[in-house]
Structure 1
Amino acid sequence: MFIAISQRLMENSSYVELREGLALDWGIFFRKYLRDYLPLPLSYEIEFNRYIPYVSGVILSGGNDLSTIDDSRINNKRDSYESKIIEECIEHKIPLLGICHGAQIISYYFSSSFERQSGHVGNHKIMVDNKEYEVNSYHNYCITKLGDELEALAKIDCSIEAFRHKQHDIYAIMWHIERECGMQYRDVFDIWFKKVKERVCK
């Protein structure tokens, strides 16, 4: 069984070559938390609908800026591809989880608002149901207002750190679950993973 995962796009500096890549942290994460599944890294040169018969769920990983923040060919290529993934996941009822950049593209797709915030990078505390959890942070642009179809699940001051779609199995987290301090608060991941397992059993 496979969980599809989008990759960071990088441009090699010593000669012209675009590369797709995932941090080794993701292999460790799958080994620990998704033992019965294998990651299926997505290539930006293969249409996502070709992967659909093989996947039980999808993760949009971190890395890169949104093209609305930095209008580069890499960011445009990634945003275009991941927007198509969102459409396909809705159409085919595939549970979708966005991580950092993945959360940003989901929120942008559903008409949310962003704002640059200095000093946001680093570990910090979130409050959920009057409980405090430590999470990591590697982004400078925060989600400050969600689109009408989305519902906030965790916040820090004016930054929305986790949310879900009100109707579809779409979930998002602004911290990196695959890195240190990524799973102190894991409710959103657990809800998404439950939907993945339910899809497998159908």
Structure 2
Amino acid sequence: MPPIIGITGRPQDVPAVTLTITAYLAAHTYTDSIRQAGGIPIILVPVDESEVDDVLDRVDGLLFTGGGDISPKLYGAEPEDTVRGVNEHRDIFELELVKKAHARKIPIMGICRGLQVINIALGGTLIQDLPSHTGVHGHDIVGEGVYEPHLEAMVKEGTRIAEIIGPGKHCINSIHHQAVDELGEGLSISAVAVDGTIEGIEHEDAEWPMIAVQWHPEFLGMRDNGDAHDLFKALIESAAKYRADA
């Protein structure tokens, strides 16, 4: 049986007959990427802390997806005017998922917000808005531009991400206005944009297959970018090994 990958759902208001309700969704770009890599995707919705272990009992790996900003209160900061799309219910659930997945050595991959969730769960902090704090622009592309690379990032030699897609310069797509500030415990930088923005992180624990990227390989993969597919394949391979060893 293929590995089961839990994908974090994004809350979105949707019409339902005569009213509007909140649904937890995952874009087809995420689910298609997991399926093409050989896994079976299931969408995860927030549950109580006491139920997180029950969720993890049923998956072989996790994909933390993009979405709104994480509540700055959860990393000891006051929210600035630029913060948008906060959903603390989702935030708290995903932070707990990371911590318990770490304890179990469950393979995880983070994309965009997902990278930021992992960093915060392990004690890190964020820059709440790149343009206003650092003067860096060009990381918040919208529309059809998300499918094409528009930035350059350097992948550090000797990192897990380098083992997957190769070290050196890579062309990436970024859709974010926040970024890692202080790294969480045990995390190291594996990719950096030419402007200095952290674009990839991983954990120093060799027994925990964890990688996270600030860019969006699920969009690049829709245009047959080989590097993007390789990242998802690495997650599935790690998840298959986790299942076999369980």
1:126 pairs, out of 153, 170, 187, with: 153
- Bigger shift: residues 39-48 or 13-22: 13-22
Residue matched to 2:237: 194
RMSD in angstroms over aligned alpha carbons?
A: 2.5
Number of positions where the alignment pairs a residue of Structure 1 with one of Structure 2: 199
After TM superposition, the structure 1 = structure 2 runs for residues 108-127 of structure 1, keeping only pairs within 5 Å, are: 108-115=120-127, 116-118=129-131, 119=137, 120-122=139-141, 123-127=150-154
Residue in 1 that maps onto 2:209: 169
DSSP 3-state at the match of 2:191: strand
User: Identity across aligned pairs (percent)?
Assistant: 24
Residues 1:137 and 2:174 aligned together: yes
Q: CA deviation at 1:144?
A: 3.4
CA deviation string 1:19-45 (max 9, x = no partner): 101112123212322x2x210111224
Letter aligned with residue 121 of structure 1 = D
Query: Which residue among 93, 116, 126 is the counterpart of 1:104?
Result: 116
Which is further off, 176-185 or 131-140?
A: 176-185
Q: CA deviation at 1:184?
A: 5.1
CA 111–45 in structure 1, closer or farther in 2 if over 3 Å, else same: closer
CA contact (8 A) 1:9 1:64 kept: no
Residues 67-114 of structure 1: per-residue CA shift (max 9 Å, x gap): 115487x52011100011012212222111111111111111223232
Kindly tell me: are residues 139 and 133 of structure 1, through their superposed partners in 2, closer, same or farther at Cα, counting changes over 3 Å? same
1:172 maps to amino acid: A
Q: TM-score, normalised by structure 2?
A: 0.71
Structure 1 residues 50 and 141: alpha-carbon distance in aligned structure 2, compared to 1, 3 A threshold: same
Answer yes or no: is the 8 Å Cα contact 2:112–2:215 preserved in 1. Answer: yes
Contact 1:8 1:63 in 2 (8 A): yes
Partner of 2:67: 63
1:151-166 aligned within 5 A? 151-156=188-193, 157-166=195-204
Aligned twin of 2:160: none
Does the 8 A contact of 2:99 with 2:122 survive in 1?
A: no
Compare 186-195 and 85-94 and name the one that shifted more: 186-195
Distance 1:139 1:25, change over 3 A: same
Whole-Å separation in 2 of the counterparts to 1:169 and 1:148: 16
Flag structure 2 segments of 5+ consecutive residues without an equivalent. Answer: 73-78, 132-136, 142-149, 158-166
Tell me whether 133-142 or 180-189 shows the greater mean CA deviation. 180-189
Which residue is 2:99 aligned to? Answer: 87
Match of 2:23 among 19, 26, 42: 19
10-19 or 75-84, larger mean C-alpha shift: 10-19
* Aligned CA distance change for structure 1 residues 26 and 147 (closer, same or farther; 3 Å): closer
Compute the TM-score of the two structures, normalised by the length of structure 1.
0.85
- Contact preservation (8 Å) 1:145, 1:160: no
Q: Secondary structure of 1:55's match?
A: coil
Q: Are 1:117 and 1:141, in contact at CA under 8 Å, matched by a contact in 2?
A: yes
Q: Which runs of 5+ in 1 are unaligned?
A: none
Q: Which has the higher strand share?
A: 1
In 1, distance between residues paired with 2:242 and 2:221?
A: 28
Q: CA deviation at 1:164?
A: 0.7
Q: Which has the larger radius of gyration?
A: 2
